[in-house]
Structure 1
Amino acid sequence: MKKILLFCIPALFLLNGCNNDVPDPEVKETGQAQEAQNETVSAMAMPKDVTVQYLVKGNNLYVDCKTSTISFREDSDKETGKIMLSLDGKPAGVFNSAAFVVRNVATGQHHAHLKIVNNKGTNVFEKEFNVIID
């Protein structure tokens, strides 16, 4: 009985810690994909330790943004915000999740412009990158 408790109690703590900020299930897809691109940016006026990762799989663009200062959940105690993405100067969507998918992106090279805007509408972070869809 003691062995079971020694195993179950730490397992419950680990599982309980994983229930917040879980990305959309569609991001968990597996299969062949291009290597993920990692971008880390630090600036004086912008949040520290913002990481933008993106992955191209087929004609879908998977994006994951991590920051310690902005939350994309409305029920958070931190400052909340949203992500605005444009491709080639055209809006691709507004996202209230740190991880999201832009589906059916046209074949070719695209210039992506990602902005994180806080709940007051103030621009908090910007990142530009190029995406190639084969």
Structure 2
Amino acid sequence: MKKIRMICIPAFLLLAGCGHDIPDPEVKPKKDAIHFSIPTTATVQASLSDTEKDGLDVRYIVKGNKVFVECKVKDYSFREDSKGKVGKIVVEMNGVMKEYASAAFVMEGLKPGKHAIVLSVIDVASKTPKYKKSFQVMIKE
């Protein structure tokens, strides 16, 4: 009986102490955020994780004529209601620029061939670029 108390009382205190301090998720869903999934039957042409110590981690997957991109940016959020620094992503590809307000997005309708992509994280408040990465993708016919 004494052993049961010695096990149950600390376990109860541990569970009771952690029950009310549940952390909020870091990323909350946003109405206009882009959500995508890759079908499990599809074959992936190429993927890459480009990690450096500069605060920007870019991962992408090429599938057909689409490029699925996910960015992790140090010290920046892409949510407008964030209390910290707010950023946006500007992608330049083949001379065309497009802005994204989400850390994950899909570039669709790419023509076959090699495409140079330059991805920049812009601070929304100061309108200055903070991080920049460039990579190339090859779209097969």
- Is 1:34 the counterpart of 2:42 in the alignment? no
Counterpart CA distance in 1 for 2:50 and 2:108 is: 21
Asked whether 1:62 is paired with 2:46, we answer: no
TM-score by length of 2: 0.72
Tell me the distance in 2 between the aligned counterparts of 1:69 and 1:116. Answer: 11
1:82 maps to 88
Q: 1:124 to 1:21 in 2, by over 3 A?
A: farther
Considering only CA atoms, is the larger Rg found in Structure 1 or Structure 2? 2
Consecutive unaligned residues in structure 1, runs of 5 or more: 1-5
The answer for unaligned runs of 5 or more in structure 2 is 1-14
RMSD: 2.5
Look up the match of 2:119: 114
Structure 1 letter corresponding to 2:85:
E
Q: How many residues align?
A: 117
Shift of 1:19: 6.3
Q: Counterpart amino acid of 2:79?
A: R
> Which deviations, in whole Å up to 9, do the C-alpha atoms of 1:44-94 show, x marking residues without a partner?
xxxx3x210111111011111001311111011110010000112322x10
CA distance in 2, matches of 1:77, 1:68: 15
Letter aligned with residue 103 of structure 1: E
> In percent, how many aligned pairs have the same letter?
30
Secondary structure class of the residue paired with 1:36: strand
